[in-house]
C-alpha cells in the first residue's frame, strides 16, 4: 500500500516516491521497469510504423473488446468470488481475448487491446484483490509480451493478420502461437520471482496443474475465437456461453477445495481428514488389512514464529507438508490437524512398516532447509518433529480411539526428548524394539548439535 494517507495533498513527486515498487530488491526493480519500458517503446514503434489500419482490423478489434467487456459484466460476481478464494493468484479468463488478439490482429493493435481488456477486468473485480498496483501493471506487461510472442509465431508461419491458413496450417500455427505465448509468459514471471526470492526452482511456476489446465483451456478458446473471427466474426459470440460455464465450474471446484483443504498447506483440513480416515478404517475392516495412524508434531515451533515471524513459520509448515506428500503414497490421507500438527492414515501398513516410514519422515524433516524470506538471514534448518503412531486394529478400530492412542505416543516422544518416533503401547500389541532404538536420546543430541 502507498504511504500517502487518504485525503492528504501531496505533490506528484511525493506520490511517485511512495510507490512500493521502490522497496523491492534493486535487481527486481530494474527488471520490472526494463520490461515495462520495452513494451511501451515497442507499442509506440508499432503504431508509428503502421499508422493505417483496415476496416476489418478495426472491426475485429472492436468485436473482441465488446465481447471481453460483456463477458466481464455478466461474470463479474463469479470472478470476484474466485479472486477471494485464491490463496496467491488465480488464472482469469482474459487470455481468451488476448490470445485471440495475437492470432488475428496486427501487432500495432495488440497492446491497446490487451491494455483495455485487462484494465476493464481490474475495474470489475481486481480492485478488491489487494494485489499491489505495480504487480498489476507488471502482470499486464507480461500479457502483452506473451501476446507479441504469439503474434510473432503466427507471422513466422507467413500468416498475415486477417488471413486464414489451411486446416493443417491452422493447427500448426495455433500450436506454435500457444507454445510461444505460454513460454514467454512463464519465463518472464519466473525471472521476476527469481529476482524477488531466490533461489526458486522453475517447477514452482508450474506446480499448480489445475491452473495450468485452465490456462491451456482459455488459450484454446482464444485460438478458436481468433479462427472464427477470421471466417464468421459474429459466430465468435457463441464462445461466451461456454466461457461462462467454465468460469462457474472453476468456482465450484475452488469452493470444494476451500471447504476440504487447509489454506496454508494444501492438505486436507481436520474435518475432511477425519471423515476420510473413517472411510479408510471401514475399508480396512471390509478388506481385512491393517492400517496406521500418524500424528506428526513440530518441535519447538513457537521459537520459529517468535524468532523469524509467522510468515516464516507458514513457510516451514508448507515445506513440511510438501515433505509428507513426497514421502507418503498418493493414496495415503494426509491432513493438517491445527497449529503445527499433521496427521496421516496409511493403508495396508503394519507396525514395523509404520515405524520405518515414520522414521524416514522424521529424518527428512530434520534435513529440511527452508529458504528465509530475508535473504540476509540464514535458511531455516535444524527442524525436528515428534511422531506418534497407532495401528489398526491392534490399538483401536475407531478414528477417535486411534487418535487418542497416537496422541499418547506423541506426548511420550515429547517427554522423552523430542525428535523421536514412538509407537503406542496401548492395546494388545506393544511397540517393537525398533521404537526404542529410534527413541534414543542420541536424536535429541543430534538436534542440539545441528542447531
The owner of cell 530434520 is 366
193 & 123 share domain? yes
Rounded CA gap, 335 and 332, in Å?
A: 10
Whether the model clears a pTM of 0.75, i.e. scores above it, the answer is no
- Given 210, 228, 258, the domain boundary residue is 258
Give the count of beta carbons closer than 10 Å to the beta carbon of residue 26. 9
pLDDT string in tens for the chain (451-residue length): 344 454 455 555 666 566 677 777 788 888 989 999 999 999 999 988 877 788 888 999 999 999 999 998 888 887 777 776 665 556 788 999 999 999 999 999 999 999 999 998 888 765 555 566 778 888 899 999 999 999 999 887 655 555 555 667 777 888 899 999 999 998 898 888 888 766 555 555 555 667 778 888 899 999 999 989 988 888 888 998 888 888 888 887 777 777 788 888 889 999 899 999 999 999 999 989 999 999 999 998 888 888 888 888 899 999 999 999 999 988 899 999 888 999 999 999 999 999 999 999 999 999 998 888 776 777 788 899 999 999 999 999 999 999 999 999 999 999 988 999 999 986 433 333 333 333 333 433 433 333 3
254 is a domain residue: yes
223 & 331 share domain? no
How confident is the model at residue 165, as a pLDDT? 56
How confident is the model at residue 254, as a pLDDT? 73
Among 178, 149, 174, residue whose Cα is nearest residue 227? 174
How confident is the model at residue 257, as a pLDDT? 72
Collect all residues with Cβ–Cβ distance below 8 Å to 238 and sequence separation of at least 6: 228
81 & 109 share domain? yes
Our CA dihedral for 5, 11, 16, 19, rounded to 10 degrees, sits at -10
116 is a domain residue: yes
2 is a domain residue: no
213 & 250 share domain? yes
Rounded CA gap, 130 and 116, in Å?
A: 20
CATH number of the domain bearing residue 391: 3.30.70.270
76 & 134 share domain? yes
164 & 292 share domain? no
* Strands lying side by side in the sheet with 291-298: 333-338, 341-347, 291-298, 385-392, 421-423
204 & 335 share domain? no
264 is a domain residue: no
22 is a domain residue: yes
- Given 258, 279, 303, the domain boundary residue is 258
Q: What is the pLDDT of residues 99-112, one digit of tens each?
A: 999 999 999 999 99
How confident is the model at residue 441, as a pLDDT? 38
Q: What is the pLDDT of residues 254-284, one digit of tens each?
A: 777 777 888 888 899 998 999 999 999 999 9
Among 424, 420, 423, residue whose Cα is nearest residue 444? 420
227 & 330 share domain? no
229 & 343 share domain? no
Rounded CA gap, 22 and 396, in Å?
A: 59
How confident is the model at residue 148, as a pLDDT? 95
Is the bond into 393 cis (omega within 30 degrees of 0)?
Answer: yes
The owner of cell 524468532 is 307
Among 84, 81, 113, residue whose Cα is nearest residue 96? 113
- Given 234, 258, 282, the domain boundary residue is 258
121 & 253 share domain? yes
243 is a domain residue: yes
203 & 98 share domain? yes
Q: Count the domains in the chain.
A: 2
How confident is the model at residue 133, as a pLDDT? 73
Is 373 within 8 Å of 312 (Cβ atoms)? yes
4 is a domain residue: no
User: Residue 108 belongs to what domain range?
Assistant: 12-258
How confident is the model at residue 251, as a pLDDT? 80
265 is a domain residue: no
208 & 297 share domain? no
How confident is the model at residue 163, as a pLDDT? 57
Among 401, 392, 418, residue whose Cα is nearest residue 340? 418
Amino acid at each position: 500500500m502507498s504511504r500517502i494517507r487518504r485525503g492528504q495533498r501531496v505533490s506528484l513527486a511525493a506520490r511517485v516516491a511512495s510507490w512500493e515498487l521502490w522497496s523491492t530488491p534493486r535487481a527486481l526493480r530494474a527488471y520490472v521497469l526494463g520490461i515495462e519500458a520495452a513494451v511501451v517503446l515497442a507499442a509506440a514503434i508499432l503504431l508509428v510504423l503502421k499508422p493505417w489500419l483496415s476496416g476489418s482490423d478495426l472491426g475485429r478489434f472492436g468485436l473482441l473488446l465488446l465481447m471481453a467487456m460483456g463477458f466481464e459484466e455478466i461474470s463479474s460476481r463469479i470472478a470476484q468470488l474466485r479472486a477471494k478464494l485464491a490463496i496467491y493468484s488465480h488464472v482469469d479468463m482474459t487470455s481468451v481475448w488476448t490470445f485471440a488478439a495475437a492470432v488475428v490482429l496486427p501487432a500495432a493493435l495488440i497492446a491497446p487491446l490487451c491494455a483495455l481488456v485487462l484494465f476493464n477486468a481490474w475495474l470489475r473485480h481486481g480492485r478488491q484483490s489487494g494485489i499491489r498496483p505495480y504487480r498489476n501493471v507488471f502482470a499486464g506487461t507480461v500479457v502483452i509480451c506473451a501476446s507479441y510472442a504469439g503474434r510473432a509465431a503466427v507471422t513466422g508461419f507467413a500468416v498475415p493478420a486477417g488471413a486464414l491458413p489451411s486446416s493443417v496450417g491452422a493447427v500448426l500455427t495455433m500450436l506454435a502461437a500457444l507454445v510461444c505465448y505460454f513460454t514467454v509468459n512463464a519465463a518472464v514471471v519466473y525471472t521476476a520471482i527469481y529476482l524477488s526470492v531466490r533461489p526458486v526452482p522453475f517447477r514452482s511456476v508450474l506446480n499448480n496443474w489445475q491452473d495450468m489446465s485452465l490456462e491451456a483451456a482459455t488459450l484454446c478458446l482464444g485460438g478458436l475465437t481468433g479462427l472464427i473471427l477470421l471466417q464468421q466474426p459474429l459466430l465468435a459470440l457463441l464462445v461466451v456461453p461456454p466461457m461462462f460455464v467454465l468460469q462457474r465450474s472453476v468456482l465450484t471446484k475452488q469452493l470444494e477445495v476451500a471447504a476440504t483443504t487447509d489454506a496454508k498447506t494444501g492438505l486436507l483440513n481436520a474435518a475432511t481428514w477425519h471423515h476420510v480416515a473413517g472411510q479408510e478404517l471401514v475399508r480396512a475392516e471390509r478388506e481385512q488389512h491393517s492400517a496406521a495412524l500418524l500424528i506428526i508434531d513440530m518441535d519447538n515451533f513457537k521459537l520459529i514464529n517468535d524468532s523469524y515471524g509467522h510468515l516464516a513459520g507458514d513457510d516451514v509448515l508448507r515445506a513440511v507438508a510438501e515433505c509428507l506428500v513426497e514421502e507418503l503414497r498418493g493414496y495415503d490421507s494426509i491432513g493438517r490437524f491445527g497449529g503445527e500438527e499433521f496427521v496421516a492414515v496409511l493403508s495396508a501398513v503394519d507396525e514395523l512398516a509404520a515405524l520405518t516410514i515414520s522414521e524416514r519422515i522424521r529424518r527428512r524433516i530434520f534435513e529440511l532447509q527452508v529458504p528465509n524470506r530475508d535473504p540476509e538471514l540464514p535458511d531455516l534448518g535444524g527442524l525436528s518433529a515428534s511422531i506418534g503412531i497407532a495401528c489398526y486394529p491392534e490399538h483401536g478400530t475407531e478414528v477417535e480411539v486411534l487418535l487418542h492412542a497416537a496422541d499418547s505416543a506423541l506426548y511420550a516422544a515429547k517427554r522423552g526428548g523430542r525428535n523421536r518416533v514412538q509407537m503406542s503401547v496401548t492395546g494388545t500389541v506393544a511397540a517393537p524394539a525398533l521404537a526404542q532404538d529410534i527413541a534414543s536420546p542420541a536424536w535429541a543430541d543430534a538436534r542440539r548439535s545441528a542447531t
